[in-house]
Amino acid sequence: MKSLSLVLLLMGAQSLFAVPVLTLTEDSILNLSKNSAVPELDKIEANLLQAKAEQMKAKDIFGVEGYAGYNYSETDEKGLITFIPVFSPIHQYQAGLKKNFKYGLQADLSATVDNRSSARNNYDSLHTTTYSLKLNLDLWKDAFGRVTRKKLENLDIIAKQSQLESEINKKVFRITLRKIYWALIANNQKLDIAERQYQLSIKQLKDSKKRQRNSIADVSEVARYESQTSSRKGSILLVKYERESLFKQLRNFLPDIAANELVIKNVNVDKTILDVLSCTTLIKTKKLVPYEYTKYDELVSLLKTVQTNTEVIDSSYDNIDLKLSTEFKKVGVGSEETAPNSSQFEGSYDESLNNLEDGFSAGLLLTIPFGKKFSDTKEVTKKYNEKRLKANIRSMDNSLLTTHTEISKSVEYLTEIIQAQRSNSRSLKVRLREMEKKFNQARIPAFQLVQDQDALLDSDIAIVDTQLAMLNTLLDYFVVFSDTPCNFNKL
């Protein structure tokens, strides 16, 4: 009774601490990537947000800025000439708004109040109120915002580019998960093949030992089967190791399943191969690159616009810089003379509103870069941007062309390879049956039978590898042509 209780207790403990088993299909893996926290997708989203943040920061300089200030000064110094007053204390207040425009214009609207006194000269609380509008206009380097507008356009394009790249990278991530899934399916097939051959080798080893006891087989034959059994057991362990490596990749991509024991549900691979061939047939109907199935052509178009804008920006690097600065002012001064019946501040304020005293100033500032250093820097920058953008554009154009033109040939070759391998396996099975008969009749040695069994094992595994290569080839096509309308694409 005590033994039974102990057994039940152990069974309960095992069930309590058992690792939950999760059976995965291709669809369930893709759903997990959508509905759970995935670090890889977070990285993609972070890159997109970084590009948006850079765009917004750059545009912030064109927002309206408010500013305010106060300054106080006091001194005990005496004037050099008695009738020239030394003012102390002095209070200065300032408030205003600033804005940069994308057409090479900066505006600054402000109001200042200056309050000062001079006890030595009997001046008490004199007010000066000033309203000012300053306009700075670029007349050459960035005339009408020629360069600024190109920079802003590039920022908008880069934001669109980041959005497209984010969509592409998410598709690449889904394709990566699908590749791992199909690698696990192929791994299961290899494991089934290897275990069948391993069980056969165990049976043959037992038979050889039995024949040895009956003095029909010698030591070398038994050793041959022992070697074959060990070799096939090693093959099984290697396949299992590869499976665990694939599971590790899957767990790294999908942390929510890290604590589960994973099992892959087998599928009908032959049906999947038919789906692949159906997809390839659709692709073959497109003689020209199907730009409607890809986002890369949009990226190329955006990069070409960036290239054009960048040429304008780089060409302006060593240009002369000519700026026009203007200031319009209204000034009111408050004193006993202007406002005998009111406070000095009210007097100056009323006077400024009545536009009694206007002011205007204008100036030009010319900046000329001297020396060969500026032109050298411009040329290096132009060449760098030219080569960088051209390389990206050519690479994408080339990827679109080669990916589409090579897919049909690649799948066609792989299909023929699979057919040849299956034909080879069928022939090897026929030969193996005959060799087994001859071996049972003691007409051939054991190593010949083992050679044919190993050849069949290698042929069956080669079929699995080639089928996986075919699936991966089409999945690689979907990385570029992500909107291809066929069942295997899983849009």
d(CA 55, CA 53): 5
| CB environment 330-340: b (16+ within 10 A), e (fewer) | bbbbbbeebbe
> Could you tell me the pLDDT band of residue 109, with boundaries at 50, 70 and 90?
very high
Q: Which residue has the higher pLDDT, 448 or 486?
A: 486
Strands 321-334 and 358-367, sheet pairing: antiparallel
Residues in CB range of 291: below 8 A, 6 or more apart: 297, 400
d(CA 107, CA 300): 38
Q: Does the pLDDT value for residue 10 go beyond 70?
A: no
Q: Which pLDDT does position 336 carry in this prediction?
A: 53
What are the two backbone dihedrals, phi and then psi, of residue 409, each rounded to the nearest 5 degrees? -65, -45
Q: Does the pLDDT value for residue 255 go beyond 50?
A: yes
- Amino acid of residue 223: A
> Could you tell me the pLDDT band of residue 234, with boundaries at 50, 70 and 90?
very high
Which domains are delineated in the chain? Answer: 20-53+150-308+382-489 (1.20.1600.10), 64-101+105-139+327-368 (no CATH)
d(CA 164, CA 306): 15
> 164 and 295 in contact (C-beta within 8 Å)?
yes
d(CA 160, CA 410): 34
Task: Find how far residue 155's CA is from the centre of its chain.
Answer: 17
d(CA 188, CA 243): 8
- Amino acid of residue 105: L
d(CA 101, CA 59): 10
Alpha-carbon distances, residue 424 vs 110, 202, 421, 430 (angstroms): 89, 25, 5, 10
3-class DSSP state for residue 152? Answer: helix
Other CB atoms within 10 Å distance of the CB of residue 17: 7
> 127 and 347 in contact (C-beta within 8 Å)?
yes
d(CA 192, CA 266): 11
d(CA 308, CA 223): 75
Tens of pLDDT, residue by residue over 175-201, are 999 999 999 999 999 999 899 888 888
Q: Which of 163-172, 203-212, 226-235, 454-463 has the lowest mean pLDDT?
A: 203-212
- Mean pLDDT (whole number) for 275-279: 88
Tens of pLDDT, residue by residue over 405-440, are 888 888 888 888 888 888 888 888 888 787 877 777
Tens of pLDDT, residue by residue over 280-308, are 888 888 888 999 999 999 999 999 999 99
End-to-end CA distance of the chain: 61
> 194 and 232 in contact (C-beta within 8 Å)?
yes
Q: Which residue has the higher pLDDT, 57 or 373?
A: 57
* Bridge partners of residue 106, in order along the sequence: 100, 136
d(CA 94, CA 91): 10
Q: Which of 108, 86, 106, 89 is nearest to 97 (CA)?
A: 108
Tens of pLDDT, residue by residue over 206-222, are 877 887 787 777 888 78
Q: Which residue has the higher pLDDT, 323 or 347?
A: 323
Mean pLDDT score of the chain: 83
Tokens of 357: 């005293």
> 219 and 212 in contact (C-beta within 8 Å)?
yes
Q: Which of 267, 213, 208 is nearest to 450 (CA)?
A: 208
**0.85 exceeded by pTM:** no
- Amino acid of residue 115: N
User: How much of the chain exceeds pLDDT 90, in percent?
Assistant: 23
d(CA 276, CA 270): 10
3-class DSSP state for residue 88? Answer: strand
Q: Does the pLDDT value for residue 98 go beyond 90?
A: yes
Q: Does the pLDDT value for residue 450 go beyond 80?
A: no
Q: Which residue has the higher pLDDT, 79 or 115?
A: 115
d(CA 453, CA 197): 8
Half-sphere exposure of 63 (CA within 13 A, CB side): 8
What are the two backbone dihedrals, phi and then psi, of residue 196, each rounded to the nearest 5 degrees? -60, -45
* Bridge partners of residue 105, in order along the sequence: 101, 137
> Could you tell me the pLDDT band of residue 81, with boundaries at 50, 70 and 90?
low
Q: Which pLDDT does position 359 carry in this prediction?
A: 86
Q: Which pLDDT does position 340 carry in this prediction?
A: 54
The residue behind tokens 């039974």 is: 4
